[in-house]
Amino acid sequence: MNFLKRLQESEENVKRRWLILGSAVMMILVVFIWLNYFNTLVQQASAPAQTEQAERGLTFWQTFKSGLGIVFQTAGSKIKYWFEIARSPKSYSINP
């Protein structure tokens, strides 16, 4: 209680410093707990996935490569579409 009383009576910059420090510590703690939880989920899900991978025969890199190809193909078509719009004639018809 003595610490809180001193903190309440201290200057604003000291209060702000303690606020930033406390927030940073809490954020790190939350991220650490979240990562541990996520790690547990991944470990539980990876055990069945390993047997499925052996049955399918596709490796991670093959899947990643084909997915990356799809992403680049889609992005390329969208970029071409936007360039076509930019190159099109700038005539507008306004009908009353």
Q: Kindly state whether residues 68 and 39 are assigned to the same domain.
A: no
Instruction: Answer yes or no: is 94 within a domain.
Output: no
Q: Kindly state whether residues 42 and 82 are assigned to the same domain.
A: no
The answer to whether the pTM exceeds 0.85 is no
C-alpha–C-alpha distance, residues 17 and 58, integer Å: 52
The predicted-structure confidence for 75-95, as pLDDT tens digits, reads as follows 888 888 888 877 877 776 777
pLDDT of residue 10: 92
Q: Which domain holds residue 69?
A: 58-89
Instruction: Answer yes or no: is 36 within a domain.
Output: yes
C-alpha–C-alpha distance, residues 87 and 85, integer Å: 6
The predicted-structure confidence for 3-53, as pLDDT tens digits, reads as follows 889 999 999 999 999 999 999 999 999 999 988 888 887 777 666 655 555
Domain count, the chain: 2
